[in-house]
Amino acid sequence: MKSRRNILIVIAALLALAIITPFSSSYVITLITHALVFAILAMSLDLLLGYTGLPSLGQAAYLGMGAYLTAILASNYGFGLGWSFWAVILLGMLLGAATAAFFGLFAIRATGVYFLMITLALGMCVWGLAYRWNSLTGGDNGINLPPRPEFGISLANDVTFFYVVFGFFVFTLATLYVLVRSPFGRTLEGIRERELRMRILGYNTWLHKYIAYIIAGAFGGLAGVLWAQMNGLVSPEDVILTTSVDALLMVVLGGPGTLVGGAIGAAVVTFLRDYLSTLVHWWQYVLGGVYVLTILYLPGGLIGIPERVRNWRVRRGRKAAVPSH
């Protein structure tokens, strides 16, 4: 009952977004599209952080893989500029998954802060490659992409591109939603809560974590493909630690273990970073303040606010109902 109501709210919000966005100014459209791409990355990370309890600091690596693949295919081979765009999407997800499958061999054995450190180091490896492998990645200049793909529809049109990204966002949300409610998804929560018990109950927890890590990598790769098309530029700056930290903060800010929370976090961070920064120069303090306040006072993230308000109302209602002496 409760979850059905929540689903309805999410669907209503998505519909509203789909209907209203085209009427916004062209800058707002790009901001929303930008937030949606990062929402995909944040949700992929939420699968690890919120559901499996794995705090990865290397999610930018998969975004980078998808983005560089897209840029290299497009600028060196002219591939992915028509219908083959869909092939690039698939390849980007595969490359993200393959990278995660490789990195996972090192990362999954560790837990807690060690997992954090290893994923951070692996993420830096990808950044190092992007920065140093000049002949392939263009070094610190990065790669400029040719104009966005065209296949009957032209993705160069902002509204069209928004709908395509929106579609991928909904696809990611729906897929991950089914996943976390599937038998497999529930095992991830069990691992988060108490891994040792899961092993005793007959689960090969390493394998479950490994699979989750690969899936998260695949969606990270998807975000990367869209990111490359969004900016028309792929640079080592996209793969740098800041991107991974941003993704982590988006999840923590919105509310881990909810998927939608990651999307809300992505929207808030994108807005603060890209819009507030054009208004005031001390926007970084605002961002920092929001993070600190959320972590201190809203452990469940922004998505926990309605629940808190309800509880507060109930408490106040009760107090009011007590007759005064």
Partner 1 sequence: MKEKLTGRLGWAAGVACFALGMGAGTLPASAAEELRIGFLAPLTGPFAQIGKDMANGFQLYLDEAGGSFAGAKVTFVVEDGEGKPPVNVRKAEKLIRQDKVHMFIGGLLASTGYALAPVSTRQKTVYVSSIAAADDLTQRDSAKYPYMVRTGWTSSQPSHPFGQWACEQGYKKIVTVAADYAFGYEVVGGFQKAFEDCGGRIIQKMWPPLGTKDFGPFIPQIKKDADAIFTLMVGPMALQLPKQLKDAGNKKPVIGGGTSYDEYVLPSMGDEVVGHVSALQYSAAIDTPKNAAFVKKYRSKYGKVPSYYSESNYTTAQMIHEVLKKTGGKWPGAEKFVKMMSEIRIDAVRGPVRLDEMRNPVQNIYIKKVEKKKLHGYPQDELWNTVIKTYPAVGQFWKYGKADFLKQPVYSRDYPPCKYCE
Partner 2 sequence: MTEPVLELKSLSKSFGGLHAVRGVSLQVMPGDRKAIIGPNGAGKTTLFNVVTGVLPATSGEVRLFGENITGWAPHRRTAAGMARTFQITSLFPGLTVLDNVLLAIGGVRKMKFVMWRFLSSYRDLYEKARGLLEKAGYWDRRDLEVRNLSHGEQRQIEIILGLASDPKILLLDEPAAGLASGESREMAEFLKRLDSSLAILLIEHDMDVVFDIAEHISVLHFGELVEEGPTEKIRASDRVQQIYLGTG
State the pairing for strand pair 153-154/150-151: antiparallel
> Is residue 254 involved in binding partner 1 (CB under 8 A)?
no
Nearer to partner 1, 281 or 318 (CB): 281
Q: How far is CA 188 from CA 51, 130, 214, 227, 260, in A?
A: 6, 32, 13, 28, 18
Residue 143 φ/ψ, nearest 5 degrees: -130, 130
Q: How far apart are CA 306 and CA 316, in angstroms?
A: 15
> Is residue 105 involved in binding partner 1 (CB under 8 A)?
no
> Is residue 201 involved in binding partner 2 (CB under 8 A)?
yes
Contact 219, 44 (CB under 8 A): yes
Q: How far is CA 232 from CA 67, 74, 90, 143, 204, in A?
A: 10, 11, 19, 8, 42
- Nearest distance in Å: CB 196, partner 2: 6
> Is residue 28 involved in binding partner 1 (CB under 8 A)?
yes
> Is residue 20 involved in binding partner 1 (CB under 8 A)?
yes
User: Which residue type sits at 151?
Assistant: F
Q: Which stretch binds partner 2 (CB under 8 A): 11-19, 41-49, 59-67, 199-207?
A: 199-207
> Is residue 289 involved in binding partner 1 (CB under 8 A)?
no
> Is residue 198 involved in binding partner 2 (CB under 8 A)?
yes
**Using CB under 8 A, which of 187, 229, 243, 258 touches partner 2?**
187
Q: Which stretch binds partner 1 (CB under 8 A): 100-108, 198-206, 212-220, 270-278?
A: 270-278
Residue 110 φ/ψ, nearest 5 degrees: -85, 160
Q: How far apart are CA 288 and CA 281, in angstroms?
A: 13
> Is residue 235 involved in binding partner 1 (CB under 8 A)?
yes
Q: Which of residues 144-183 bind partner 1 (CB under 8 A)?
A: 144, 147, 156
The encoded tokens of residue 320 equal 């009011």
Q: How far apart are CA 222 and CA 97, in angstroms?
A: 10
> Is residue 308 involved in binding partner 2 (CB under 8 A)?
no
Q: How far apart are CA 68 and CA 137, in angstroms?
A: 7
Question: Taking CB within 5 to 8 Å according to partner kind, which of partner 2, partner 1, none is near residue 317?
Answer: none
> Is residue 134 involved in binding partner 2 (CB under 8 A)?
no
Q: Which residues bind partner 1 (CB under 8 A)?
A: 5, 8-9, 12-13, 16-17, 20-21, 23-28, 30, 32, 34, 134, 139-142, 144, 147, 156, 231-233, 235, 237-238, 274-275, 277-278, 281, 284, 306
Q: Which residues bind partner 2 (CB under 8 A)?
A: 178-179, 181-187, 189-190, 192-194, 196-205, 208, 211
